[in-house]
């Protein structure tokens, strides 16, 4: 499904002369990183440079793309890793092939396999980790323009990032819709049935209630169209824990202007950053939590991060008593 095109992106660019943006005075170091240091030579950026752009507030419209890799430290397997991914461990469910568990036609025929899987994803079973809280801190500092997530686990919401800052590209369990009459209901009603091992049914027509996550062949949520405005106006793109294999999400990594730095923190080199890199790309491969902790350290946010995690952990502990 072609939800976006370059002509549409170009037509919505808001970075003309003046642009209504308040001028910011940068240090010589930041000016050099931004390409305003008087030299025509484009130097390779580093993680330290990205940290300086954020710390100095030279970048105040940060767009973030995340995938299943940010949630694996919270105990949620991704889908595609050989051996450990969910697609490799679906033998326990009565399904003809792994992808069937996310096919609408199979769900309508037999919703129980999906509901069994959904029960394992119940928000109360898992907690946000350091990556989620780093993004929350970025929001608290007023620098997060939008967070685009492929995840359906709800941990971005659980970390305290407001829904207005989220684009849940593959939907969420926050609400559910009847597959027959299209009546909507809050996610709490859906979970009450799932946790009680019941198939959620519509109280009006008795149709099956399906959570508002995107199954194969379904359209992406309308909020996904925010990318037409967000990416052309972004001044920094962070890409964390994603294989960049699923379209149209993956192609968004190329929707920022060519002058905008892109930071990839991931286990492997992926997507357009691997086969069509740009001069201002920064790549940090390896363990994602370690990479994020290193960035937080370079930003000088370590103590703030610890305080945030303590506060949020305290809230969860208080609710569990």
Contact call for residues 154 and 123 (beta carbons, < 8 A): yes
Q: Are strands 171-178 and 209-213 parallel, antiparallel or unpaired?
A: antiparallel
User: Which tokens hold the place of 47?
Assistant: 């993680």
Please report which helix (H) or strand (E) contains residue 149, including its range: strand 144-149
Evaluate the omega torsion of the peptide bond into residue 218 and state whether it is cis, within 30 degrees of 0. Answer: no
Is 170 one of the annotated active-site residues of the chain?
yes
Whether 312 contacts 133, CB under 8 Å: yes
Rounded distance, CA 267 to CA 264, Å?
Answer: 10
Tokens 């994602």 -> residue: 288
Q: Using an 8 Å Cβ cutoff, are 169 and 150 in contact?
A: yes
Contact criterion met (CB below 8 Å) for 250 and 271? yes
Query: How far, CA to CA in Å, does 117 sit from each of 22, 169, 194?
Result: 49, 20, 10
CB contact at 8 A, 220 and 3: yes
Which DSSP string do the residues of 89-142 spell out, in sequence order? S-TTS--SSGGGGGBHHHHHH--HHHHHHHHHT-GGG----HHHHHHHHHHHTT
Given the residues 139, 170, 227, 290, the one annotated as active site: 170
Residues 44, 179: Cα–Cα separation, whole Å: 51
Q: Confirm if 194 and 119 have CB atoms less than 8 A apart.
A: yes
Alpha-carbon torsion 300, 302, 303, 308, what sign? Answer: positive
Length of the chain: 321
Residues with catalytic function: 170
């Amino acid at each position: 499904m072609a939800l976006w095109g370059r002509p549409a992106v170009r037509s919505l660019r808001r970075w003309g002369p003046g642009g209504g943006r308040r001028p910011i005075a940068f240090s010589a170091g930041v000016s050099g990183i931004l390409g305003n240091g008087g030299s025509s030579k484009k130097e390779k950026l580093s993680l330290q440079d990205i940290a300086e752009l954020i710390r100095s507030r030279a970048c105040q419209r940060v767009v973030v793309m995340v995938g299943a890799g940010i949630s694996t430290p919270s105990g949620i397997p991704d889908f595609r890793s050989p051996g450990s991914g969910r697609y490799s461990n679906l033998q326990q469910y009565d399904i003809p092939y792994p992808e069937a568990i996310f096919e609408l036609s199979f769900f309508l025929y037999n919703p129980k396999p999906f509901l069994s899987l959904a029960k394992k994803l119940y928000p109360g079973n898992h907690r946000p980790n350091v990556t989620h809280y780093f993004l929350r801190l970025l929001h608290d500092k007023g620098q997060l323009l939008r967070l685009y997530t492929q995840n359906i686990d709800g941990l971005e919401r659980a970390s305290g990032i407001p829904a207005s800052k989220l684009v849940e590209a593959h939907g969420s369990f926050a609400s559910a819709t009847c597959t027959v009459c299209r009546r909507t209901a809050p996610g709490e009603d859906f979970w009450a049935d799932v946790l009680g091992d019941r198939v959620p049914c519509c109280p009006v027509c008795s149709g099956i209630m399906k959570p508002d996550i995107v199954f194969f062949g379904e359209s992406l949520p309308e909020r996904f169209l925010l990318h037409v405005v967000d990416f052309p106006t972004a001044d920094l793109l962070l890409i964390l824990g994603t294989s960049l294999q699923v379209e149209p999400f993956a192609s968004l990594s190329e929707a920022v202007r060519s002058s905008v730095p892109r930071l990839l923190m991931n286990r492997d080199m992926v997507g357009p950053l691997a086969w069509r890199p740009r001069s201002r790309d920064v790549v940090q491969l390896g363990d994602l939590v370690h990479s994020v902790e290193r960035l937080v350290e370079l930003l000088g946010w370590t103590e703030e991060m610890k305080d945030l995690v303590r506060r949020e952990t305290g809230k969860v502990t208080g609710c569990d008593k």
